[in-house]
Amino acid sequence: MLPPILKNLRIPVIGSPMFILSGPELVIAQCKAGIVGSFPALNAREKDGEPVLLDLWLTRISEELDRHNQANPDHPAAPFAVNQIVHRSNARLERDLEICHRHKVPIWITSLGARPEVNEVAHDCGGIVLHDIINNTFAKKAIEKGADGLIAVAAGAGGHAGPQSPFALVQEIRAWFDGPLLLSGSIATGRAVLAAQAMGADLAYIGSPFIAATESRAQPEYKQMVVDCGAEDIVTSSTFTGISGNYLAPSIRNAGWIPRRCRLRIRRRWISAPRPAASRKRPRRGARSGAAAKGSARSMRSSLRARSSTGWQANMLPPRPLSPRFKARRCCLRVSPAWPARHGNVVARGAVYACPAPRKPW
């Protein structure tokens, strides 16, 4: 259920706050077009001795939207939002909260932690709080600490995107939460907005398409790069910040890096698993391990079949017998009897071809 402030949007979209790129020009244009415009509070940076830029930005946005509403009573502007990084490392947080409270910011977007005291400040001035999350666990914590709505940052979102499929993330949240839910991740068209609503989201959360807007603070080369690139040019990497994020391949080349060497290699990552009691004694190299090898093969097949839809199979019927064609495809899941002896009981995370290929037929 949407709060009144979000019910009358001409388009069910909130423009996401983009670091450095979102400013008052873009926010005002978005609000006049009928969607919620937003910017990070940390984008307003002044030099020592200069007036507080966040205060000036909020004054400009409020006055400009008020003039628009008076001149266009039949098509009023949408409300605006300010993004607050509530992590303890943000030394400006207390000052920015006081400024936003004084200006009565209608929508607060919080990131990097859910803090009850921040939500209380927002509610005290009549605002609502939307908290961005990447999984169901963080979603529950945010609501418990007083957030009014959630922003599901799913796979495909710009910047430090979440790893989960939007289908899995939205259905898990909607199992217990019926409040405002926004969805982010590769949404750039009206069809995608409609699909997000069909999945269970109330609004779409869109950022990257606005990089190329005239009002964006991006450099002209950056805007042109966004227009020219496609989905194949997106590189997911943790090389630059230590946290997995999405980047444009041309920008990586311009910085002197090789994109293919920066890609996140999930398929080659291995996770240790408890060894079965029957195979705790490591067999000699090259020996067949009998029942232990069979048990390891079953464990491998079970782990590889688990995907983001796990947890929604309670009401499904038992699987039907496998067709010959499917059995032929499934042969790649077989594990060599000597495999546990070489590698121990480990399971591959990602795709079926993460398993080491044998040199000889099994």
DSSP 183-224: EESS--SHHHHHHHHHHT-SEEEE-GGGGGSTTS-S-HHHHH
Query: Alpha-carbon distance 158 to 34, whole Å?
Result: 22
Query: Alpha-carbon distance 3 to 68, whole Å?
Result: 23
Rounded to the nearest 10 degrees, what angle do helices 166-174 and 136-144 cross at?
40
pLDDT at 348: 33
Query: Alpha-carbon distance 192 to 198, whole Å?
Result: 10
Q: Please check whether residue 356 is in contact with residue 348, taking contact to mean a CB–CB distance below 8 angstroms.
A: no
Q: Please check whether residue 131 is in contact with residue 153, taking contact to mean a CB–CB distance below 8 angstroms.
A: no
pLDDT at 276: 52
List pLDDT tens digits, range 56-81.
Answer: 999 999 999 999 999 999 999 999 99
Per DSSP bridges, beta strands 203-206 and 181-184 are parallel
| Residue-range domain boundaries for the chain | 4-226, 229-264, 268-305+324-354
DSSP string, 326-347: HHHHHGGG---TTHHHHH-SEE
Which of 217, 108, 285, 10 lies closest to 117 in space, CA to CA?
Answer: 108
Q: Which two tokens stand for residue 18?
A: 């983009």
- Residues 6 or more apart whose CB falls under 8 angstroms from that of 57 comprise 23, 24, 39, 44
Which of 54, 56, 59 lies closest to 39 in space, CA to CA?
Answer: 54
Q: Please check whether residue 70 is in contact with residue 106, taking contact to mean a CB–CB distance below 8 angstroms.
A: no
pLDDT at 283: 52
Q: How many residues does the chain have?
A: 362
pLDDT at 162: 86
Residue 266 CB-density burial (10 A; 0-12 exposed, 13-18 middle, 19+ buried): middle
4-226 to CATH, choices 3.20.20.70, 3.40.50.720, 3.20.20.150, 3.40.50.300? 3.20.20.70
As a dihedral over the C-alpha atoms of residue 253, residue 255, residue 257, residue 262, rounded to 10 degrees, the angle is -90
Tens digits of pLDDT across the chain (362 residues): 899 999 989 999 999 999 999 999 999 999 999 999 999 999 999 999 999 999 999 999 999 999 999 999 999 999 999 999 999 999 999 999 999 999 999 999 999 999 999 999 999 999 999 999 999 999 999 999 999 999 999 998 888 788 899 999 999 999 999 999 999 999 999 999 999 999 999 999 999 999 999 999 999 999 999 999 999 999 888 888 777 788 899 999 988 888 888 876 544 333 444 555 554 455 555 554 555 444 544 443 433 344 444 454 444 444 445 454 444 444 444 434 443 343 333 333 333 333 344 444 43
Q: Please check whether residue 303 is in contact with residue 357, taking contact to mean a CB–CB distance below 8 angstroms.
A: no
Q: Please check whether residue 300 is in contact with residue 354, taking contact to mean a CB–CB distance below 8 angstroms.
A: no
- Sign for the pseudo-dihedral over CA of 89, 91, 95, 96: negative
Full-model pTM: 0.74
Per DSSP bridges, beta strands 149-153 and 181-184 are parallel
